[in-house]
């Protein structure tokens, strides 16, 4: 499938989310955990799936989630995790 056909089938992303982690050590640089793009029109079902996916990946990496939160609008543009 060429790029023109791709954009006919799928909406273009308008937002890029970058998931970062800041180690507690003074000399340690921040770490990019992941990046995803979106058209910023997510449903609550999609938000739940994102939480589930992120929780699964954190567990696989041996990280424990202490608390999570997100803005409460339908789009859920911001998600927060404390590890």
Pair of tokens at residue 2:
């060429």
pLDDT in tens, 49-73: 888 888 888 889 888 777 776 665 5
For the chain, give the DSSP string: --HHHHHHHSPPP-EEEEEEE--SSTTPPPEEEEEEEE-S---HHHHHHHHHHHHHHHHHTTPPP-EEEE--STT---EEEE-
Model pLDDT, residue 53: 87
pLDDT tier, 77 (very low <50, low <70, confident <90, very high otherwise):
low
Tokens found for residue 11: 């909406």
Please give the pLDDT value at position 72.
55
Is 41's pLDDT higher than 60? yes
Which pLDDT tens digit goes with each residue over 11-26? 888 888 788 888 888 8
* Residue extents of the structural domains in the chain: 3-82
């Amino acid at each position: 499938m060429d790029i023109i056909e791709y954009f006919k089938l799928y909406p273009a992303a308008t937002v890029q989310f970058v998931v970062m982690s800041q180690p507690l050590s003074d000399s340690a640089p921040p770490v990019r955990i992941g990046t995803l793009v979106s058209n910023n029109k997510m449903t609550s079902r999609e938000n739940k799936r994102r939480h589930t996916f992120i929780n699964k990946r954190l567990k696989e990496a041996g990280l424990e989630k202490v608390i999570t939160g997100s803005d409460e609008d339908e789009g859920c543009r911001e998600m927060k995790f404390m590890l």
